[in-house]
Each structure stands twice: as C-alpha cells, then as structure tokens.
Structure 1
Amino acid sequence: MHTAPLDAATLESCLSAAVAAPSIYNTQPWRFRLDPDDVALEVRAAPERGLRHADPVGRALHLSVGAAVFNLRVAAAHFGWTPVVRLLPLPDDPSLLAHLRLTGTAQRHTALHRPDLYPMIWRRHSSRFPFSGRPLPPAVRVELADAARTEGATLTFSGPAETARLLRVAAVAEHRTRTDPDRAVESRRWVHRDPDDSADVGIPQAALGVQDAHEQLPMRDFTAQRHLERLPAQPFESLPVIALLTTEHERRSDWLRAGQALEHVLLVATAHGLRASLLHQPMEWPDLRRTVSHMPDLTGHAQMLIRLGYGPEGPATPRRAPDHVR
C-alpha cells in the first residue's frame, strides 16, 4: 500500500490537473470532494453549469467530467498513486459521476497511458487557428486510436470524401446554432469580450480564434454573429485531418468513458506536437449526430469530431482555482 498521505499540495496539484481538462464552452461543470478516510476523490456534476439548449440531456457535461477524471488519473499516477475509478457508483445519487480511490504504488510498466502525459495537461490548449498541410504520420494515427481504445472508445480517421461529408454536416449544425435565438443567447453568455474580464470560466475573446475565409471548416462562432467584433477570417488547411470518436453504447457511463478517451487522445496528440480543435456542433442536434455516425464499416454512437494538425498553439482559457471546485 502507499505509505505517504495525500498531502494538501498533492491534492491541489491533482485538482489543478482535473480542472485543466476541456469542457463545452469552458463551463467546467464539475465539483470534487475528498474522502480522507478512504483516500478517494468524489467527482460530481455541477448542473448549474450545464447548457439547457445545447446540451439538454447532459451528454456533453458527462464528456467534460470524463476528461477531468482522466486528468485526475494521470496526476495520481504522476504522484505515485494507483487510481481505481468507479463510474456512476451510486445509482440513487445521479450527481456522483465518478469515485476515484488512490491506492497502492503506481507501476509505470502497467499504466494504461504514456508516462509523459502529466506535463501535457498544462500544454494542451484548443487551437481554433489554421493548421499546416503537414500530414499526420501513420504511427501517430495508430497511437491516437490505441489511446481511445484503451478507454473503451473508437477513434476513426476519415478519408477525403468522408471528411468532406462530415464537414458539410458540421456546417449545417453551425448554421442552425447561429440562427437559433435561444442557443445564440446561451452561447454569448460564455464569451468574455472585455480583455480585462477576470472571469474564471467561459471563453475570452482572444481564444475565439478565426473564421475560415474559404468556409472549408465550420469553426464555431461563439458570438453567434450578434456583435460587431466579428472573428477575423483566414484561409484554413485545404485537407483537414478529422477523426471521429465513437462508443459502442449510449449510456451515461459511455459518455464518461468517451470524455476520458477524448482527453487521452488530446494529451497524446500534444505529446507529438499536434494541435486540436473540437467540432462539437453536430453532436448538439440529434438528427445530425445520427448522420455523423453513418460511416462505412462503422457502427456506434458519435461523441466528438476532432480536427488535428500542426499549427499555432491556442491561447489558454481561464480555469477555476482548486479551492473553488470543492
């Protein structure tokens, strides 16, 4: 058994890693509670940070929390613990999404992830900027797919024709979202236009990126085209690399696994010098999400479209302090 206690500094580092995870609109819809007797962390949903219109059933909230759980696992292993995770441990307590017990001594050779992912937590940022046309090496694609598979999900890279189809679906979803009054209002709530805004959630103006001048990539316009500070336009890569993350089933536990798979993929991508942005818009419309899943020789439930490539690092978005998420 692990002989050292979970001291305050280690706990704060683990929680800092957890809240560095990506979340829809940077809502950070999570809370954490330490059970000192069991040396365990409870991971709970923060439903008040949910998105009523974009995410009415909480699927994206679960993905966000799943990503935080993966970061907790990586941080725990980094500090010498073996994390034992139970998803949805109490059926009569639906807000308790995960229970992570810290036990034993972490064994590097038996870890379910690369040993160098902890520093990647702090380097990973979504990049909504154009990428270069440099192709992803086949070995990197295989490693990214393996990372998703480790978490119980599937990552599939699409060919040119399928990529074009998926981007068309994403464009339809983006147009719907921009023109839906309720979703537009909800989206703008999470954008901070004032550069001096000290908010610790949401998306600052500098992190919005740019729009594709040739409209090849339907980048999300969080401002919903409603104020004067429109996103600048630049040409994006002509052949974007798009990967689809799916799960075999569609349960709350699958959403949490998909979130862990997503973050595992993103951290491995970061370790290889890749940037990523998420095309979540089709997942927010049930009919379009079903269309995304219809790929040749692929079954399952679409959870995320991921754009990957080599390019500029995206700016960091704010995070709540560890003592604000307990």
Structure 2
Amino acid sequence: MEALVEAATAAPSLHNAQPWRFRYLKDTATFELRAALDHALPHSDPDGRALHLGCGAALFNLRVAATHASWRPVTVLLPDRYDPRLLATVRLERPAGPADPGAGLAGLHPAIHRRRTSRLPFDDERVPDPVRATLREAAEAEGAQLHFPSGWHVQTVLDLIRDAEGRDLADPGRTAELHRWSEDAPGGASARDFAGRPVPARPHGGGEFEELPQLALLGTREDRPADWLRAGQAMERVLLVATGHHLSTALSSEALDWSDLRWTVRDPLSSMGQVHVVLRVGYGPPVPATPRRPVSQVLRVE
C-alpha cells in the first residue's frame, strides 16, 4: 500500500503544494483520497480548482499503480456529499486478469517516476500528428478533451498567460504562496515562467525559448468539482503518455485562475466548455525530479 501511495504522490500540483492525504481501510481494501487543506492555496487557487486537479492526477497514478500490482481499482468520485474533503475512494478488488479493461493502465506505470515538469527551452521540432492524436485519445479516455490550438490562438493564450503572471506578481498573497510552495525553491527545478520571459538565472542551463511553443488545452464540458477531478486524471494520463513518447512537458493554470481571463482561453468553435490546464509540449533536455513528501506524512492505515 505504501508503494501505491508513493506512486500516487509523484503527481504534479500547483506550486508543488501536494494537497492530498490518503487513508487505507484494511477491512474493505479501500483507499480514501482527501484534500489536505493545510496545503491548499487560498490566494492562488480560491475556488479549489487546482487542488482538485492535483488530487485528480494523484488519483490517476494510484489507479495505474494498483493495476500494475494486479488489482482492479474501483473508483468513486466525491462519494459523500456531506464531506467535500473526501474527493474519491478506490476499492481494490480481485486481481485484474488479462482481459480486464483496466489492464491497459499498467503499461503507463514506468512513466510515473520518469515524468517531469520542465521549465527549460524545448526544441522547435514539431510533435508528430500521430503522437498528438494519441495524447487526445488519452484525455478522452478520462472524460476530457485535448485541443492543440492554431498559431493565432497560441499567441493569444501566451499573451493571456503573461497578463496573468504579471497580475500574480502584483498580488502579495499569491507571491507569498509562490515563495512558500513553489517547486522552484532550492532543490527544485530551474526557474522560468511559462510564457518564456527572461529570468535572472537558469541553474540547469538552457538556451532561448522556442519562438512559438506547442501548446495544448485540456478541458471538460462542465465546470464542477467532479469535472476538475476528471480533468486532473486526464491531465496525468496525457502527461504519462507524453513521457512514454519522450516528450518534455510543462503546465500552466495562471490565466485560468482569473475569471475575466479564463473564458478567452478556450476556442469558441470547439465543444470544450471549460479549459482547466494549458500544457506546453515538445522535445527538451532532462530535468531533475522535484521533492515529494514522505509517504509517512500522507498515508494513514486503519
């Protein structure tokens, strides 16, 4: 059970705050995934959207790790309407057989600990269309959509992200949370902002950022906590599939945290109602892993 949770906590989260806790109930072989409110970001994430995305990503890793260990994870989102901190339950049932439809998740297990969030420049090499199609299918498998915007839309999204990053820097509460939780702290990844503006130093090297980054928008039709959890699972599935294709990835939700900017990110011609994450994909150099809390701090067994 500790190994499963260790895999779950390799998921990304806003500022690497890791806003999750797990409880394992031995009598029913069930995991409870709970929101760790002491790791929430009330200034940067006032609605809890990013918290749900991060916990959804951890939930997906737990499902992958359980399937890899020959269990069938039966997952229920938001099982108790009177306990909003209980985000999901995962009951481990009989060992999954070769015909089990969830068995395909096991193949993603090696990518869990290889996935990284990169803040370094990527090459200008275009991600091939078949790989893009595979990433879209990964999002759809978890009830979300993945859209690769065209050139004009990419520039619009980058402008919105720059605007949001500027607002964040001018907000004392958000700045304090960034300094407290950011994975750019000592021991974390190198500093850079998503839109590619210059930064004072890049401890892990890197040259100029690509002129027009390859972005992908991940979203759902609706915009409720259950949709955020589904989007988090879809995000992690896309990231693991991308890792398997030797892609580097970065995430941004800055422009989505401001309500007056969020609606302009989506493509009005698509059926995607709400964009939850902007992904930057490409081919870049390796980067180190970011620190994670020990399993003993996030898992309780009863």
Give the TM-score, by structure 1 length.
0.86
- 1:58 corresponds to: 48
The whole-number CA distance in structure 1 between the counterparts of 2:116 and 2:74 is 27
Asked if residue 84 in structure 1 is aligned to residue 74 in structure 2, the reply is yes
Deviation digits for residues 3-39 of structure 1 (CA, Å, limit 9, x no counterpart): xxxxxxxx11101001111011111111100111111
- 1:162 corresponds to: 153
Deviation digits for residues 202-221 of structure 1 (CA, Å, limit 9, x no counterpart): 44335343547xxxx52599
Amino acid at match of 2:30: A
- 1:207 corresponds to: 188
The whole-number CA distance in structure 2 between the counterparts of 1:299 and 1:41 is 31
The count of corresponding residues between Structure 1 and Structure 2 is 295
The whole-number CA distance in structure 2 between the counterparts of 1:114 and 1:132 is 29
Evaluate the alpha carbon distance shift between residue 108 and residue 170 of structure 1 in structure 2; reply closer, same or farther with a 3 A threshold: farther
Map 1:1-326; keep pairs closer than 5 Å.
Answer: 11-109=1-99, 110-111=101-102, 113-191=104-182, 202-205=183-186, 207-211=188-192, 218-219=195-196, 230-232=200-202, 234-326=207-299
Evaluate the alpha carbon distance shift between residue 113 and residue 25 of structure 1 in structure 2; reply closer, same or farther with a 3 A threshold: farther
- Report the Cα offset of residue 290 of structure 1: 1.3
- Report the Cα offset of residue 112 of structure 1: 6.8
- Report the Cα offset of residue 295 of structure 1: 3.6
Evaluate the alpha carbon distance shift between residue 115 and residue 139 of structure 1 in structure 2; reply closer, same or farther with a 3 A threshold: farther
- Report the Cα offset of residue 312 of structure 1: 1.1
> Contact 1:113–1:147 (CA<8 Å) still a contact in 2?
no
> SS of 1:276's equivalent?
strand
The whole-number CA distance in structure 2 between the counterparts of 1:112 and 1:260 is 16
The whole-number CA distance in structure 1 between the counterparts of 2:148 and 2:155 is 12
Long gaps (5+) in structure 1: 1-10, 192-201
The whole-number CA distance in structure 1 between the counterparts of 2:159 and 2:272 is 20
Evaluate the alpha carbon distance shift between residue 150 and residue 112 of structure 1 in structure 2; reply closer, same or farther with a 3 A threshold: farther
Amino acid at match of 1:204: A
The whole-number CA distance in structure 1 between the counterparts of 2:97 and 2:139 is 21
- Report the Cα offset of residue 315 of structure 1: 1.6
Long gaps (5+) in structure 2: none
> SS of 1:116's equivalent?
helix
Amino acid at match of 1:52: P
> Contact 2:184–2:191 (CA<8 Å) still a contact in 1?
no
Aligned-pair identity in percent equals 45
- Report the Cα offset of residue 120 of structure 1: 0.4
Q: CA RMSD in A?
A: 1.9
> Contact 1:220–1:279 (CA<8 Å) still a contact in 2?
no
